[in-house]
Amino acid sequence: MRRTLRIAGLLSLIVFALACTCVSSGAATLVPQGDAATTAGNTPESGAGPTEEPKPVEFQALADMGRIVFYSNRDNGLPDIYLMNADGSGVQFLAGEPDNTDLAPAWSPDGEWIAFSGSSDEGSFDIQRVRPDGSGLANLTHNPADESFFDWSPDGSEIVFSSDRGGSYDLFVMNADGSNLRQLTRTGTQDEVAPVWSPDGNSLACLCGPVDAIPYDICVMNADGSGLINLTPDDPDVDDVVWSPNGSQLAFGMPVWPEEIWVMAPDGSSKQNLTDNPADDGGIAYSPDGTMIAFRSDRDGKKNQIYILRLEDSSIYPLTDNKRVNVQPAWSPDSTWVLFLSAESLGVMDYEIYAVRIDGEGLTNLTNNPGKDSGPDWEPL
C-alpha cells in the first residue's frame, strides 16, 4: 500500500476524533501567571514567574464571536461538514454525501468560502468548497488521485494542495475556483505533503520524505515551487510544521519520544526546543496575534491537557485541568478563546468540541452530541 496510510497518520487527530460521546465538561483551572507558571522544561521556585503581569484582556461572549465550521458523523455515520454559532447554537448541515467522508474544513481568509477534503466513490479525496450558506458547492480537483491536504493563500485567491496523481506526492496550486492548475514540485524521489503558506504568501513549507518511506523532514520553497530545500535532513522525524503569524519562524513537532515542540528560522537556522520536558508535547497552534502557542501535553502526570506557552517569557500554564483527554487546540481570531477536542478517555476517544477562554474561564461544550465531532475552524472576524 502507498504512503497514503502514513499521510493519513498526519490526519490522526482528525480521524482520531471519529469516536465521540461527551458526558461531562469537567473544570478548567488556570494557574495564575505570577504564582505557579512553569518555564519551558523547568519548574521555578515558589513564587517565581513572569516578571511582568500580562496586559488585561477584553473577552467577548461566544455568542458575539461569529461561527465555527466542523465535521461530524451525527446524521449518517460518516462525517459531513457542519456550521454552528461560536456558542454552539444554530447547528446546520453544510455539505456532504451519505456514502462519502468529508473532513478538514477551513474558512477562506475573507470568510466567503469553506474548503474541505471530500472523498469520492472510489475512496480518494478531492478538494471541494462551499459558501457558508450552503450554496456554490463545487469539487475543485475532480481527480482519482488522493488530494487530502490543502491550504488557502493568505489573500484567499489560491489553494495549494498535495496530490499523488503523478505517482509520488507533489504540490500543486490552483485558483480558488479550481482554475489555472499548476504543478509546483516534480522531484520524483520524494513525497511533498501538507503544504502551508507563509503569511506574506511568498513561500511554502511542507513535509517531505522518500516515496513510500518514513521519516519526514521539513522542506521550504518559493511560492512558485522554485528553490526547494530540506531544512531538517539530520533530524530523526518531523510530524507537523506551522508558520508563526509574522513569518519569522517555523514551529514543528519532533515525535521521537518524548515529542517536543521546536522552532527555527525559515532558512533552518536558530533551532530551539520550546518545551524541553520529559512529557509528550505536540499539537502546535500559534495564537493569531503571535504571542502564544497552545499545545497538548501529558506533563504533570496527567492525560493530555491543553497548555499555553507565552512566547514573551517562555512561561507555560495549563489551560485545562480535568480527568478528560484534551487535544488539538485551535484559536479564535482575536486570540482570546481556544477550541479543543475533549474525550472521556483515551480508550473511548469520544471527542466533543470545547471552547475555553485563555484565562481558563468559560469552559463550554459546544457540540454536546452523541455524534462524533471534530476539525473546528473559527470564522475570520
How do residues 237-278 score in pLDDT, each as one tens digit?
A: 888 899 999 999 999 998 777 889 999 999 999 999 999 999
Task: Give which of 357, 301, 370 is closest to 329, Cα–Cα.
Answer: 357
Q: Compare 350 and 379 and report the one with higher pLDDT.
A: 379
At residue 55, the pLDDT reads 63
**Which of 18-22, 167-171, 253-257 holds the top average pLDDT?**
167-171
Distance separating alpha carbons of residues 330 and 378, to the nearest angstrom: 8
At residue 76, the pLDDT reads 82
Distance separating alpha carbons of residues 349 and 324, to the nearest angstrom: 10
At residue 64, the pLDDT reads 94
CATH superfamily to which 4-378 belongs: TolB, C-terminal domain (2.120.10.30)
Does 146 have pLDDT greater than 50? yes
What is the band of 155 on the pLDDT scale with cuts at 50, 70, 90? very high
From 189-193, 256-260, 297-301, 340-344, the region with the lowest mean pLDDT: 256-260
From 36-50, 94-108, 317-331, the region with the lowest mean pLDDT: 36-50
At residue 54, the pLDDT reads 54
What predicted TM-score, i.e. pTM, was given to this entire model?
A: 0.86
At residue 111, the pLDDT reads 98
